[in-house]
């Protein structure tokens, strides 16, 4: 049997090209390759090589980044039948290729297009996310990451990849370089990969907010997210013809206490917009309570508070403009609001 000899009479047309180059022991057997033939092909200097336990590369020389990823997933994937990892077929081409396994960590961020993540071939290991109860060990270049609940994977280049927030948390778990952490978190928001709140939720779940360099990076992340949200808010007012508000002001009762700051305020309509760019963190229960108290106080004074999140501004700018316009128009039907002093923030 030579390297160019077909594996067996069973065709491989239903497999993607990379799946013809990276196969498991069970797949090779299903295509008629005996143990003796497999050993012969993988002899020193032979045309095939074993990259991971039970996973083989069907050509000599170093594997490509794509082959490393597929081999890692073949090693980690849940088998759909005894000894046979799930693969697409002619009758069911959309069947998930890899069950209960997905790429995460730095490799996932590279696949998501992060310029601050290293190239695949420079990574010493590839993180693969699997359910907590899977009996699977890290081996070779594959590092097994366990989770009690798998997130829905994002398909990238035909691979199941962890969503950006989860991939960031798994990457940051292993990083001690504060600059690298900051660059990854900043790019996540600046590159519009996800919202800051989603990242902080994952970092909190991973118990990473006790690390000073991660906390510093999160502060930069939230500042970056606020700047982007404020820019979208300015654009919303301009593009959808809303009257100009006063921006970033503090409200105060005459001779009384400060009522709090808002991001935009229309004094003639007693309508305020507040961007919620905070993210859930373990020590912020008091902040959430203070925010709710401020909003309730303003509304008791007759001031309508429109609450907008960065996600809403990103995904439905026109709809948010309509919400604000409705609040402005409805002000003529309300009782006059209490007089408040408006101060620059």
Tell me, yes or no, whether 3 lies in a domain.
no
Are 112 and 167 spatial neighbours (Cβ–Cβ below 8 Å)?
yes
Q: At 221, phi and psi to the nearest 5?
A: -60, -45
Domain match, 59 and 149 both: yes
Domain match, 27 and 169 both: yes
| Neighbouring-strand partners of residue 104 | 127
Tell me, yes or no, whether 69 lies in a domain.
yes
Neighbours of 340 (CB within 10 A): 22
Tell me, yes or no, whether 201 lies in a domain.
no
Tell me, yes or no, whether 225 lies in a domain.
no
Q: For the ranges 35-39, 108-112, 274-278, which has the lowest average pLDDT?
A: 274-278
Neighbours of 39 (CB within 10 A): 11
Tell me, yes or no, whether 40 lies in a domain.
yes
Whether the per-residue pLDDT at 100 is higher than 60: the answer is yes
Domain that holds residue 292: 243-344
- Measure the CA–CA gap between 212 and 209, rounded to whole angstroms: 7
Are 129 and 162 spatial neighbours (Cβ–Cβ below 8 Å)?
yes
Reported pTM: 0.79
Angle between helices 212-239 and 317-330 (to 10 degrees): 60
Tell me, yes or no, whether 182 lies in a domain.
no
Q: What per-residue confidence (pLDDT) applies to 52?
A: 96
Tell me, yes or no, whether 6 lies in a domain.
no
Which of 174, 196, 227 terminates a domain? The answer is 174
pLDDT confidence band for 158 (50 / 70 / 90): confident
Considering its fold, how many domains does the chain have in total?
A: 2
Domain match, 47 and 129 both: yes
Domain match, 23 and 162 both: yes
Are 211 and 174 spatial neighbours (Cβ–Cβ below 8 Å)?
no
Tell me, yes or no, whether 323 lies in a domain.
yes
pLDDT confidence band for 285 (50 / 70 / 90): low
Domain match, 31 and 166 both: yes
Q: Name the range with the highest mean pLDDT among 10-19, 94-103, 158-167.
A: 158-167
- The tens digit of pLDDT for each residue in 197-226 reads 899 999 999 999 999 999 999 988 888 889
Domain match, 144 and 27 both: yes
Domain match, 124 and 247 both: no
Which of 150, 174, 198 terminates a domain? The answer is 174
Domain match, 134 and 262 both: no
Whether the per-residue pLDDT at 281 is higher than 60: the answer is no
Whether the per-residue pLDDT at 116 is higher than 90: the answer is yes
Q: For the ranges 129-133, 321-325, 334-338, which has the lowest average pLDDT?
A: 334-338
* Averaged pLDDT for residues 192-198: 89
Contacts of 284 (CB under 8 A, 6+ apart): 278
Domain match, 167 and 260 both: no
Whether the per-residue pLDDT at 1 is higher than 80: the answer is no
Nearest-Å Rg of the Cα atoms of the chain is: 27
Whether the per-residue pLDDT at 263 is higher than 90: the answer is yes
Angle between helices 196-205 and 212-239 (to 10 degrees): 160
Report the CATH number that the domain containing residue 326 is assigned in CATH: 3.40.960
- The tens digit of pLDDT for each residue in 11-56 reads 444 445 677 789 999 889 888 899 999 999 999 999 999 999 999 9
Domain match, 168 and 256 both: no
Which of 143, 174, 205 terminates a domain? The answer is 174
Domain match, 250 and 338 both: yes
Which alpha helices (H) appear in the chain, and where do they start and end? 17-21, 25-30, 35-41, 65-76, 105-111, 164-173, 178-190, 196-205, 212-239, 285-300, 310-315, 317-330
């Amino acid at each position: 049997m030579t390297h160019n000899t077909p594996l067996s009479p069973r065709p491989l047309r239903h497999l993607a090209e990379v799946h013809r180059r990276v196969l498991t022991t069970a797949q090779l057997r299903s295509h008629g390759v005996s143990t003796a033939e497999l050993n012969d092909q993988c002899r020193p200097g032979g045309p095939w090589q074993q990259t991971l336990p039970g996973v083989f590369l069907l050509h000599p020389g170093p594997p490509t980044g794509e082959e490393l990823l597929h081999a890692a997933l073949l090693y980690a994937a849940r088998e759909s039948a005894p000894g046979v990892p799930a693969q697409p077929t002619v009758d069911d081409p959309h069947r998930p290729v890899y069950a209960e396994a997905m790429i995460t960590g730095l490799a996932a961020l590279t696949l998501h297009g992060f310029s601050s993540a290293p190239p695949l071939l420079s990574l010493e290991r590839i993180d693969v996310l699997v359910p907590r109860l899977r009996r699977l060990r890290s081996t070779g270049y594959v590092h097994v990451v366990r989770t009690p609940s798998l997130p829905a994977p994002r398909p990238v280049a035909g691979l199941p990849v962890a969503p950006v927030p989860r991939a960031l948390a798994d990457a940051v778990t292993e990083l001690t370089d504060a600059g690298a952490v900051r660059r990854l978190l900043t790019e996540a928001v600046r590159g519009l990969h996800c919202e800051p709140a989603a990242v902080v939720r994952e970092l909190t779940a991973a118990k990473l907010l006790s690390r000073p360099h991660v906390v510093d990076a999160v502060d930069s992340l939230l500042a970056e997210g606020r700047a982007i949200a404020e820019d979208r808010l300015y654009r919303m007012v301009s593009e959808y013809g809303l009257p100009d508000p006063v921006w970033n002001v503090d409200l105060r009762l005459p001779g009384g206490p400060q009522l709090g700051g808002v991001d935009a305020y229309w004094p003639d309509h007693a309508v305020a917009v507040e961007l919620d760019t905070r993210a859930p963190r373990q020590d912020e229960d008091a902040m959430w309570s203070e925010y709710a108290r401020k909003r309730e106080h303003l509304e008791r004074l007759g001031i309508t508070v429109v609450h907008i999140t960065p996600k809403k501004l990103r995904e439905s700018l026109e709809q948010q403009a309509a919400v604000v316009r409705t609040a402005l128009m409805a002000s003529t039907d309300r009782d006059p609001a209490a007089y408040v002093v408006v101060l620059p923030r």
